[in-house]
Structure 1
């Protein structure tokens, strides 16, 4: 079906409700007609495939109305387009990161330094945050500011993430330093069950603050560290979604985190000798 005007749009809506498959081309660049078709066919058994011109449009189409077209059809210019489209479609499905319990071993007040808040273009859920760590071999799940505070309103789009040297899990297979993120970068929001989603950074907010070092260890003995702002309103997440104020942590407390093979180059895992301490 080619949607070129209101009449053909209404026909496309009817087809999408009645047929098992509907392959639709939209003449105009606006995604409003696609939204109308998706809404019209909601709660039906039909599948909508949208014809796209390039990978960038495919990414947009797969996210329309938070659920997107069921699929996309692309005429690729080469094998790279086919590979990138496959990666994009896999990414549109549910992402997961393996989480495990970590045990706090040491808390240290270490003085002043620069910490970064990651302000995103999305609101986090109450059991959701970012995986942050000083070492590539392990990160701690730092909570978003979705939980009430006594002296300021919540910032559900923000994670007070940690010191600027820290690693942040930005995709299932890659990390970034907090210091190198900026508006438009993508990071991985992770909840306490390990379910993950791609989130866009709107702004990085870096300021000098007192810092707190949190040392922990995994059940297999992997040391993990995160350095965060030394203030009660900064929180990390524990098993079952428990919200823990960092200034009240003590040895023996349980946190949620992620461990991975040590050693990274430009954010990608690499098998080489690498000592972090």
Structure 2
């Protein structure tokens, strides 16, 4: 996931405090403050704290470079091997970030060298936007460092997070506008969403199969029509099961819930799969919409109850796939047209959205192995 950092070093503590509170409420990952404010931040809530300095204080992340070569206070050496900032970064214990203001090509090159010696690289553009960031992303490819790009608006964040497709690993927002913090939060979450390919599958069989244990997954996220979870009896293929986000004549809508299917079924969780029966409160699950966009949700509760079940079989991309869902009007798949279709109305020839992967899985992870699942 892309990271959200907040720069909060300018102004009095009374000026800074509302911004830090908003960062906490908005799920920011880290705040950058003066060393004398570190303990104050920790009393406000649980968030990583970074601060500038040459020696470590109480912060989790020490930032080196401000007041030195990184911001031009000290001229860059001809040979980066004699750089004081790089020497300090190598000697520092714990998590270290390097700070560089890109004032020209030499600073861009310096940032790449510093980036090879730190955990995070904070880069601030002075008269540039995209090209130097592209060069730094390319120059640090394969290194462990995360590039955090300084921005002032959500629009700048969107550009930096998409540069060279990979984008920066996060953004450092420098603003006193609390509403802009909310906009950047949404931009970062959008950039961190993976895109899955959904394809139509043709229903070949719908048949009641009797009673069994099914799993309802109640999340801490309100979902919209067309959003749900990818669930299936085969690990390499899953149906998009919609949340109970639509009203019906039987029950009120429960947009936080996906009535996901029988206990044996797999559910897509990030790059892996898990059995529905394994999920517990506090676990992460992946929400998927009708366009294949994904988001992370937290499980609030899992309910396993005996209910009448229905076998659904389909064909997609030459593969025969299946799943078992509760036999009830409120359980819906997402049709090829993006509209929900109740499982009780499904018939052979209907087309619904599924996600098909090319590899088998072992303990939820993709493997190059021939596995037959029926």
Q: Which of 296, 315, 332 matches 1:217? A: 315
Shift of the 268–158 alpha-carbon distance from structure 1 to 2, 3 Å rule, reads: same
Q: Aligned equivalents of 1:204 and 1:85: distance in 2?
A: 35
| Structure 1 match to 2:95 | 76
| Structure 1 match to 2:32 | 24
SS at match of 2:95: coil
| Structure 2 match to 1:261 | 358
Higher RCO, Cα 8 Å, sep 6+: 1
Q: Does 1:229 align with 2:335?
A: no
Q: Aligned equivalents of 2:18 and 2:258: distance in 1?
A: 43
Q: Does 1:186 align with 2:284?
A: yes
SS at match of 1:156: coil
Tell me by how many angstroms 1:108 deviates: 1.2
Superposed, 1:50-199 pairs within 5 Å as: 51=50, 76=95, 89=169, 92=189, 93-171=192-270, 173-199=271-297
RMSD: 3.2
* Max Rg structure: 2
Q: Does 1:200 align with 2:298?
A: yes
SS at match of 2:277: helix
The structure richer in strand per residue is: 1
Contact conserved, 2:240 with 2:334, CA < 8 A, in 1? Answer: yes
SS at match of 2:42: coil
Tell me by how many angstroms 1:8 deviates: 4.6
| Structure 2 match to 1:6 | 14
Tell me by how many angstroms 1:165 deviates: 0.4
Tell me by how many angstroms 1:273 deviates: 2.0
Q: Which of 232, 240, 265 matches 2:337? A: 240
Q: What's the CA shift string for 1:72-126, capped at 9, x where partnerless?
A: xxx637x9x7759689948942321111011000111111100000000010111
SS at match of 2:349: coil
Deviates more, 1:156-165 or 1:237-246: 237-246
Contact conserved, 2:236 with 2:361, CA < 8 A, in 1? Answer: no
Consecutive unaligned residues in structure 1, runs of 5 or more:
13-22, 35-49, 56-74
Q: TM-score, normalised by structure 1?
A: 0.74
Tell me by how many angstroms 1:9 deviates: 4.6
Q: Aligned equivalents of 2:337 and 2:145: distance in 1?
A: 36
SS at match of 2:208: strand
Q: What's the CA shift string for 1:28-79, capped at 9, x where partnerless?
A: 13668x9xxxxxxxxxxxxxxx838669xxxxxxxxxxxxxxxxxxx637x9
| Structure 1 match to 2:102 | none
Consecutive unaligned residues in structure 2, runs of 5 or more:
1-8, 21-30, 52-58, 62-93, 97-116, 121-143, 148-165, 171-187
| Structure 2 match to 1:66 | none
Q: What's the CA shift string for 1:153-188, capped at 9, x where partnerless?
A: 1111000000000000011x1110001010011111
Contact conserved, 1:138 with 1:223, CA < 8 A, in 2? Answer: no
Shift of the 29–268 alpha-carbon distance from structure 1 to 2, 3 Å rule, reads: same
Q: Aligned equivalents of 2:242 and 2:44: distance in 1?
A: 34
Contact conserved, 1:139 with 1:259, CA < 8 A, in 2? Answer: yes
Contact conserved, 1:3 with 1:24, CA < 8 A, in 2? Answer: no
